[in-house]
């Protein structure tokens, strides 16, 4: 995600991001494409620390990483529920496996394995 922010609101925005989204990777770019361009890469917390100590000036661009879901955080039941939802929407098994794999951040091989286990329960699907 890309945001353009005023240097006066930067800390407030970073604190709000941390509270709402939790810790994420980001880059804070000051004066992008200009002679005095500066880039801070790290986490939201590290950016808060940095810009609490140093008042930013100029145009600020925030590039924030999207949410990631670790495989350990997704239970088999949650993955199966997502697969069932895709099948209920009319997706083919192949498309359902692809969508769940991408949207949940789970390896396709694992999602496919669960789909095969569900096959007996979804006998009415083509």
Instruction: For residues 40 and 30, give the distance between their C-alpha atoms in angstroms, rounded to a whole number.
Output: 9
Is there a single domain that holds both residue 77 and residue 51? Answer: no
pTM of the model: 0.55
Which range marks the domain in which residue 7 is found?
2-64
Is there a single domain that holds both residue 59 and residue 81? Answer: no
**Arithmetic mean of pLDDT over the chain:** 85
pLDDT at 66: 85
Is there a single domain that holds both residue 23 and residue 60? Answer: yes
Q: Is residue 97 in a domain?
A: yes
pLDDT at 126: 42
Is the distance from CB of 26 to CB of 62 less than 8 angstroms? yes
pLDDT at 124: 45
Is there a single domain that holds both residue 96 and residue 43? Answer: no
CA separation, residue 26 to residues 2, 8, 44, 103, 122 (Å): 10, 19, 6, 21, 42
Q: Is residue 81 in a domain?
A: yes
**What's the rounded mean pLDDT across residues 6-17?**
92
**What's the rounded mean pLDDT across residues 31-58?**
90
Is there a single domain that holds both residue 8 and residue 51? Answer: yes
73 pLDDT above the threshold of 70: no
Q: Is residue 126 in a domain?
A: no
Q: Is residue 51 in a domain?
A: yes
């Amino acid at each position: 995600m890309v945001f353009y922010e005023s240097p006066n609101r930067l800390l407030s925005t970073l604190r709000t991001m941390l509270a709402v989204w939790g810790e994420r990777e980001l880059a804070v770019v000051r004066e992008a494409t200009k002679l005095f361009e500066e880039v801070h890469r790290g986490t939201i917390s590290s950016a808060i620390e940095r810009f609490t100590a140093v008042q930013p000036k100029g145009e600020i661009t925030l590039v924030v990483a999207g949410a990631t879901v670790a495989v350990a955080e997704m239970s088999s039941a949650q993955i199966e529920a997502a697969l069932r939802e895709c099948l209920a929407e009319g997706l083919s098994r192949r498309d359902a496996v692809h969508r769940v794999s991408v949207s949940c951040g789970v390896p396709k091989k694992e999602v496919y394995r669960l789909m095969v286990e569900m096959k007996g329960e979804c006998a009415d699907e083509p």
